Amino acid sequence: MDKTISTPAEAVADIPDGAQVMIGGFGGSGAPIELIHALIDRFRATGSPKNITVINNNAGNGYIGIAAMIKAGMVKKMICSFPRSSNAEAFNEKFLAGEIELELVPQGTLAERIRAAGAGIPAFYTPTSFGTELAEGKPTEEFDGKMYVREGWLKADFALIKGQMGDTVGNMTYRMAGRNFNPLMAMAAAKTIAQVSELGEPGSIDPQQVITPGIFVDAIVEVAQPQQEEVLVRTGVVY
Amino acid sequence: MSDFNIMEDKLSNAQIAWRAAQDIEDGSYVNLGIGFPEMIAKFQPEGRDVTYHTENGVLGFGKAPAEGEEDWDLINAGKKAITLNPGASFFHHADSFSMVRGGHLDLAVLGAYQVAQNGDLANWRVGSKGVPAVGGAMDLVHGAKRVAVVTDHVTKDGGPKLVESCTFPLTGVGCVTRVYTSLAVIDIEGGKFILREKLPGLSMEALQAVTGATLHTEGDVLDLIVPQDL
């Protein structure tokens, strides 16, 4: 079952207009920059995909990656926990102009909603946000004398994720804190597309070291020397 | 009356952080909020073995790397570069927040716009303008065995930050157990502020005057003594 795709462009070729897309990464670590940029290339060349809903912890930094998607005008809505980072002008401008929607989700709730979707759990209760404006309109219930808020699963049509090692059947490892949301998103999307720095044959990763088992990954592409989001932001790169 | 001047004689952020650090127990797992609370790690008392957690999936991180030595895949929740201590581990976000909500952390320390006498915390936005961002704040206030706040005692305009009830949007309800301020150390128990320590030159009346809810005492109020050269 060879899931290898030869280029990022081919890997993202079937993401349609209006898709809900999870994108891995937290701040500058673990973002699949080459997959995102391939999606932007396609939009620039064909006008598609547009009206994308992006799920990520943040809402892009600088002028690359998700920020460049937003700047290009392909993003209809962000679902995230922390859009107000230090270099988030692309999102801020569109948001304050009323040109992009925002669903703000506490970070742990965002992670658990994604995990729940991947695990087939439609809803769960969490103490997070009880009594706050982010819980307005949500069912609550008391367990062992404490109040909890019901949250629903969060699914996606596609997940774009980044790993360190991968094999052709989709097993993956991650590099340091670049793991973050990537393994959760891999589980929660109808189709998961991964980029990895080193792609090998089955058996090239010790099974004891596998973090995301291949069952969660649908397509895998090698990007041998991936760009690192924080480095791009710090060097002022504009995509 | 003493000639104590609240705006001039109050503790610096470093001194507040130092005081909070004295209460970090040996062997504890601790999350320090982004910004001011992060400073507490610098003042961790010698001989205490403390493991720091950061929301983006690292347990056991150490000091910041030297400039030029950063690896930007190795960052904390504030997106600053970090290093690892022996025994560190990486994990994904759902595991990270299981540590937070699941009662596995001993202590979380956060900043505040307002703290109410019932333990309500407001620290994520001050109004409806601008771009809202919550991050992990609403998660962090739940689950840690102790949730402490470090803050100036008053706002920049001198108004109280310790209040009867919060007027800014809440981060969490009834979650804070101790507040380290620029003037005092205050516990929250039974819906009341209990004064534990105050700066030695500061009278009870003067402290009460800059506090938005009644300060109660139980037994002695100790002098809040911190190093002057921080």
Q: What is the pLDDT of residues B174-222, one digit of tens each?
A: 999 999 999 999 999 999 999 999 999 999 999 999 999 999 999 999 9
Mean pLDDT of all residues in B69-94: 96
B59 touches chain A (CB under 8 A): no
Min Cα separation A212/chain B (Å): 11
- The answer to whether the CB atoms of B56 and A184 lie below 8 A apart is no
Dihedral, CA atoms, B8, B14, B19, B20, nearest 10 degrees? 120
The burial class, CB within 10 Å (0-12 / 13-18 / 19+), for B80 is middle
β-pairing, B114-116 vs B162-163, is parallel
Which residues in chain B have Cβ-Cβ distances shorter than 8 Å to A91? 131
Buried b (16+ CB within 10 A) or exposed e, A216-236: bbbbbbbbeebbbbbebbeee
Which token pair is B109?
A: 């320390």
Does any CB of chain A come closer than 8 Å to the CB of residue B173? yes
Model pTM score:
0.97
A23 contacts A160 by C-beta, under 8 angstroms: yes
Pair B107, B24: CB distance under 8 Å: yes
The string of pLDDT tens digits covering residues A107-156 is 999 999 999 999 999 999 999 999 999 999 999 999 999 999 999 999 99
Chain A residues touching residue B136 (CB < 8 angstroms): 81, 106-108
Identify the burial level of A45 via C-beta atoms within 10 angstroms of its C-beta, where 0-12 means exposed, 13-18 middle and 19 or more buried. exposed
Residue A235 Cα, gap to closest chain B Cα (Å): 13
Q: What is the pLDDT of residue B2?
A: 58
Q: Which two tokens stand for residue A30?
A: 């673990």
The answer to whether residue B229 is domain-embedded is no
**8 Å CB contact of A131 and B132:** no
HEC sequence for chain A: CCCECCCHHHHCCCCCCCCEEEECCECCECCCHHHHHHHHHHHHHHCCCCCEEEECCECCCCECHHHHHHHHCCEEEEEECECCCCCCHHHHHHHHCCCCEEEECCHHHHHHHHHHHHHCCCEEEECCCCCCHHHCCCCEEEECCEEEEEEECCCEEEEEEEEEEEECCCCECCCHHHCCCHHHHHHHEEEEEEEEEEEECCCCCCHHHCCECHHHCCEEEECCCCCCHHHHHHCCCEC
Q: How many CA atoms lie within 13 A of A233 on its CB side?
A: 23
> Number of folded domains in chain B?
1
Asked if the structure places residue B13 within a domain, the reply is yes
ipTM, 2 dp: 0.96
Closest chain A C-alpha to B227 CA, distance in angstroms: 33
Q: Are A106 and B139 a contacting pair at CB < 8 A? A: yes
| CATH assignment of the domain containing B32 | 3.40.1080.10
Percent pLDDT > 70 in chain B is: 99
A106 to B92: CB separation less than 8 angstroms, yes or no: no
Enumerate the residues of chain A whose CB falls inside 8 A of the CB of residue B91: 179
How do strand B29-32 and strand B107-110 relate by DSSP bridges? parallel
Stretch B105-126: mean pLDDT, rounded? 96
**Alpha-carbon span A24 to B107, nearest angstrom:** 29
Neighbours of A73 (CB within 10 A): 14
Query: Hey, are the CB atoms on B100 and A109 less than 8 Å from each other?
Result: no
Domains of chain A: 18-105+154-228 (3.40.1080.10)
Residue type, A194: A
Among partner residues A30, A83, A127, which is closest to B142 by beta-carbon distance? A127
Q: Is residue B76 part of a domain?
A: yes
Beta-carbon neighbour count of residue A33 at 10 Å?
Answer: 27
Please indicate, yes or no, if residue B163 is contained in any of the structural domains: yes
For residue B3, the model assigns a pLDDT of: 79
Confirm if A156 and A189 have CB atoms less than 8 A apart.
yes
Pairing between strand B146-151 and B162-163? unpaired
Establish if B176 belongs to a structural domain: yes
B33 touches chain A (CB under 8 A): no
SS (H, E, C) chain B: CCCCCHHHHCCCHHHHHHHHHHCCCCCCEEEECCCHHHHHHHHCCCCCCCEEEECCCEEEECCCCCCCCCCCCCECCCCCECCEEEEEEECCHHHHHHHHHCCCCCEEEECCCEEECCCCEECCCCCCCCCCCCCCHHHHCCCCCEEEEEECCECCCCCECEECCCCCCCCECCCCCEEEECCEEEEEECCEEEEEEECCCCCHHHHHHCCECCEEEEEEEEECCCCCCC
Question: Distance (Å) from the C-alpha of residue B204 to the closest C-alpha of chain A?
Answer: 33
d(CA A104, CA A58): 10
pLDDT tens, position by position, A87-115: 889 999 999 999 999 999 999 999 999 99
- The answer to whether residue B220 is domain-embedded is no
Q: For residue A86, is pLDDT > 90? A: no
What is the nearest CA distance from B43 to chain A, expressed in angstroms? 25
**B197 in a domain, yes or no?**
no
Q: Are B155 and A107 in contact (CB under 8 A)?
A: no
Q: Are B21 and B185 in contact (CB under 8 A)?
A: no
Of the residues B8, B46, B55, B218, which is catalytic?
B55
The string of pLDDT tens digits covering residues A176-221 is 999 999 999 999 999 999 999 999 999 999 999 999 999 999 999 9
B55 noted as active-site residue = yes
Whether residue B102 is contained in a domain is answered as yes
Which chain B residues are within 8 Å of A29, Cβ to Cβ?
56, 72-75
- Domain region containing B79: 6-182
B131 close contact with A: CB closer than 8 A = yes
Residue B94 CA, chain-centre distance (Å), reads 24
CB-based contact A81 B75, cutoff 8 Å: no
Confidence of residue A84 (pLDDT cuts 50, 70, 90): confident
From residue A9, give the alpha-carbon distance in Å to each of A35, A43, B184: 7, 11, 59
Among residues B49, B55, B51, which one has the least CA distance to residue B29? B51
* pLDDT score of B154 more than 60: yes
